Amino acid sequence: MTDPPDSALHYPLGDALPAAGRTLDVAPGVRWLRMPLPFALDHINLWLLRDEIDGVAGWTIVDCGVANDATRQAWQRIFASELQGLPVLRVIVTHMHPDHLGLAHWLCERWTTAAGPGARECRLWMSATDWNVGRLGSQRGGFDGDGAASFYARHGLVDEQALAQVRARSDYFPSLVPQVPARFRRLMDGMVLAIGGRDWHCITGYGHAPEHIALHCPATGTLISGDMVLPRISTNVSVFHLEPEGNPLPLYLRSIAALRSLPAHTCVLPSHGKPFTGLHARIEQLRQHHDDRLAEVMAACIEAPCSAADLLPLLFRRRLDLHQTTFAMGEAIAHLHALEAEGRLSAQPGDDGVLRFRCTQRAL
């Protein structure tokens, strides 16, 4: 989903964006910076929070960017121009996807001081589930490769060139997340972190990542939403081959519905796009978006049994590269599984081994 009605959301900073190697103040003690991404979605927003730990003044980083030279160089410019001579004290990662976790090890290592009286470890803070899954993914073959190719083929992706590319991507995640810190501090739902003299409340979300952590500061009315709520695109909600029967879409919808308990005027700091207000309106837009997609999928499967691959032209009316195709396949499967869990569709393998979903008697 793109380009929601402008009247529903408000962008407090207008069209302003942080310049390369610089930051913008977005809330008391919170600075916004952007890093490049080597994807069609070409940027990620990261956050610097003014902090103090054990009497040492410094900064907390929220999310890291992918592990490549361009992002490391961008961070070096930030270190030189934006930290006011103060150290980074800790690194918080909202979830395990490469654009968020990729450089966590490098950042923690860069800001851990040597042994001695002034020794200090810059620790990674994130959920235990995403830390463990991130460590699995950083190993060659942890996510992609033959297992992923077989899964997509089972759901109707028959393009041999695309499948060969998926098989060849066994080192894709490790190339963007080559290492995850061996030690971390666990974040859990309901925890309250004291950052810069203000309380930040941890809010878990599901469906996009195993155990995503958003951070809400009631004192400033600010929500670092990670990828759970984005202003102009819909968050990817996918089924992957490691959990082939997964049903993440209801988890995601329940997670964002729970964010309605936050004040309507909350300033949302998303991982992609611009800071905005209008959280409740955006949650409703996302709910409606998925309701519409579910209706489209249901109508297609009533007309004829469909595989996930059959649905890609219906759900994604644009040309997709391989990276986007794998996400699109996962999202199509997520919508099919949601309808299957409701008893409205049932999956049956064809003679070619492809799973196709057909309307059940209950849904008629």
Beta bridge partners of 316: none
Mean pLDDT of 274-299: 98
Q: What are the two backbone dihedrals, phi and then psi, of residue 89, each rounded to the nearest 5 degrees?
A: -95, -30
- Collect contacts of 38-45 with beta carbons under 8 A, ≥24 apart: 38/66, 38/68, 38/70, 39/323, 40/321, 40/323, 40/324, 41/233, 41/272, 43/272, 44/99, 44/100, 44/271, 44/272, 45/269, 45/270, 45/271, 45/272, 45/273
C-alpha 312/C-alpha 310 separation (Å) is 6
The answer to whether residue 361 scores a pLDDT higher than 80 is no
Confidence tier at 342 by pLDDT (50, 70, 90): very high
Take residue 119 and report the two structure tokens written for it.
Answer: 């020794």
Taking 80 as the threshold, does the pLDDT of residue 141 lie above it? no
Q: Which residues of 14-27 are buried (b: 16+ CB within 10 A; e: fewer)?
A: eeeebeebebeebb
Question: Where residue 118 falls among pLDDT bands split at 50, 70, 90?
Answer: confident
Q: How many helices (H) and strands (E) does the chain have?
A: 11, 15
Which among 52, 74, 62, 3 has a CA at the least distance from the CA of 30?
A: 62
Listed as own residue / partner, the contacts of 130-133 with beta carbons closer than 8 Å and 24 or more positions apart are: 130/93, 130/95, 130/96, 130/101, 130/209, 130/210, 130/211, 130/212, 130/213, 131/96, 131/180, 131/184, 131/186, 133/96, 133/210
Cross-strand partners of 215: 202, 224
For the segment 45-95, what is each residue's pLDDT rounded down to a tens digit? 999 999 999 999 999 999 999 999 999 999 999 999 999 999 999 999 999
C-alpha–C-alpha distance, residues 57 and 93, integer Å? 20
Query: Packing angle between helix 322-341 and helix 248-258, nearest 10 degrees?
Result: 90
pLDDT digits (tens, 9 = 90+) for 186-234: 999 999 999 999 999 999 999 999 999 999 999 999 999 999 999 999 9
Q: Are 239 and 333 in contact (CB under 8 A)?
A: yes
6-299 homologous superfamily: Ribonuclease Z/Hydroxyacylglutathione hydrolase-like (3.60.15.10)
Q: Look up residue 53 and give its two tokens.
A: 């730990």
Say how many CA atoms lie within 13 Å of 188 toward its Cβ: 1
Please report the pLDDT score of residue 89 as a whole number. 97
pLDDT digits (tens, 9 = 90+) for 344-360: 999 999 999 999 999 99
Average pLDDT, integer, range 129-137: 97
Is the sign of the CA dihedral 157, 163, 167, 173 positive or negative?
Answer: negative
Tens digits of residue pLDDT in 255-269: 999 999 999 999 999
Using the Cα atoms of residue 149, residue 312, residue 174 and residue 112 in order, give the sign of their dihedral.
Answer: negative
Six-digit token pair at 14?
Answer: 């207008």
The reported pLDDT for the residue numbered 115 is 62
Residue extents of the structural domains in the chain? 6-299
The encoded tokens of residue 181 equal 């810190």
Tokens of 13: 């900073």
Higher-confidence residue: 169 or 238? Answer: 238
Percent of the chain with pLDDT over 70: 96
| Residue 126 to residue 186: CA distance in whole angstroms | 5
Whether the predicted pLDDT of 157 surpasses 80: yes
